[in-house]
Amino acid sequence: MSQPISPIKHNKSAALTALAAACTLMLSAPALAATPDTAAAPAVSANAPSAIDSSKRIIRRAQPNATISNAQSSNAPSSPSDAKAAEQTTEQDATQQNRATASTQQTPYTPVVPVAPKPTGTTQVYQRGPITSTGIDISAGQLNGIPTPQVRISDISFVPTLLISQKTGLGTDKLDVSLLDDFIEDVSPNARHYPPNFPNRSQRHYTREKIKVLTEWIEPYASEPDASFDVLLRAAKLNGMGRNLDLGSEYAVRAGQYVDRAIKAKPDSGEANFLYGMMLSEGGGFKEGKKYLDKAVELGYTEAEQSLAQSDLLSDRRNEALDRLRRLEQRVPDNSIIRQQIKLIEDGKYYIWDLPAPDIDVKPNTPIT
């Protein structure tokens, strides 16, 4: 007669059987860890026995042909549709990454250009404010060790502004010849006639250098075919003085050309006829120069009479030269130069312009413009 099995022994036997089955599965294949969620347990195939250990992990039997690692198997898709979706996701991620890389490599750098603010149309007008002074006033006393400057103005001269037309006709540009005329007036008594006469060699040298600068300045204007009469006359004066100061034969040539053009522009100019007659007669052309000097005398140019007397004296007509100058002295009694010229002829001299040179003050390197 069999004895009844106690419930305790039956429970122990069932537990040992389950434990033995679990050990057999663990030894026969690698175990793959699953998520601790117990809801995933039913997804296991019915043909794969499983067990739950004390850590609540599901232990599944691996397939015979499985060769992936634990980490790969945990991310493996559970079905063919999942695998296809994973492949598509991987391809999309790779495509996006390639596009991002290409975009980074091909997009050129575009510098940011600052945008200037648009004018608002308002105008700011300067408003004069109060004048304030800062610093030390040295006019009240002398600083220690520093002498107080003393300034005194003893001679003030003003040169009137004179503008002449650059070319013939109306509406032409103007030239400022204020300083040029002041220079010509200053040195003409010393350099207008031949031989020139200066109080010292320094003034002669400074005059020569200044004439070089002035003739170079006026040459472009005077050489124009439509140069005005005023430009031609001043160019003739400068080049004539350059000839007298032995600056070169080109000065004599230019002086004759410019004064000839000036006479053609204004035939009734007493000064132009005098300049041309003086240049010719003092250069040895007494007969050629006499007709221009006679016309200048008719036009009331006093200095032309003196040049005619010089021409008579050099042509061995001494008495005619004296008579001419004495008649001129009666008409112009205030001219002291005529009396000195009469005295030179009476003393047997041949150059009536060989007079004591008036003192002039030509500065070296004085700017003209």
Instruction: Kindly state the DSSP code that residue 227 receives in the 8-state scheme.
Output: B
* pLDDT of amino acid 167: 92
In a domain, 1, yes or no: no
Q: Is 87 a member of any domain? A: no
Are residues 173 and 59 part of one domain?
no
Picking from 296, 311, 326, the residue at the C-terminal end of a domain is 311
Those residues whose C-beta lies under 8 Å from the C-beta of residue 246, and which sit 6 or more positions away, are none
Domain presence at residue 39: yes
Number of domains in the chain: 2
Residue 221 sits in a domain of what CATH number? 1.25.40.10
Residue with structure tokens 């019915």? 46
43 shares a domain with 175: no
Tell which residue, 298, 293, 259, 291, has the closest CA to residue 274: 293
Q: How many other CB atoms are there within 10 angstroms of residue 205's CB atom?
A: 14
Give a yes or no: residue 316 inside a domain: no
Say if 33 falls within a structural domain: yes
Provide the residue range defining the domain that includes 27. 15-63
Q: Is 75 domain-assigned?
A: no
- Looking at the domain assignment, is residue 99 inside a domain? no
Do 174 and 293 fall into the same domain? yes
DSSP label at residue 149: P
Shortest CA distance to 61 belongs to which of 46, 71, 50, 70? 50
SS (H, E, C) 79-133: CHHHHHHHHHHHHHHHHHHHHHHHHHHHCCCCCCCCCCCCCCCCCCCCCCCCCCC
**So what's the pLDDT on residue 76?**
47
Tell me, yes or no, whether 46 and 167 share the same domain: no
Structure tokens, 193: 């006639």
Same domain, 167 and 307: yes
Domain end call among 284, 311, 338 = 311
Task: Please check whether residue 219 lies inside any domain of the structure.
Answer: yes
Per-residue pLDDT of the chain (369 residues; tens, 9 = 90+): 444 545 444 556 666 777 777 766 666 555 444 444 444 444 444 444 555 555 555 445 545 554 444 444 444 445 555 555 555 555 555 555 555 554 445 555 666 666 655 655 555 555 555 656 566 665 565 566 666 667 676 666 777 889 999 999 888 899 999 999 999 999 998 999 988 989 889 999 999 999 999 999 999 999 999 999 999 999 999 999 999 999 999 999 999 999 999 999 999 999 999 999 999 998 888 899 999 999 999 999 999 999 999 999 999 999 999 999 999 999 999 999 999 999 999 999 989 988 877 777 777 655 555
This prediction's pTM: 0.57
| Residue where a domain terminates, one of 48, 63, 78 | 63
**183 and 46 part of one domain:** no
Q: Report which secondary-structure segment, H or E, holds 175.
A: strand 174-176
Q: What is the DSSP letter of 361?
A: -
What is the model's pLDDT at position 246?
94
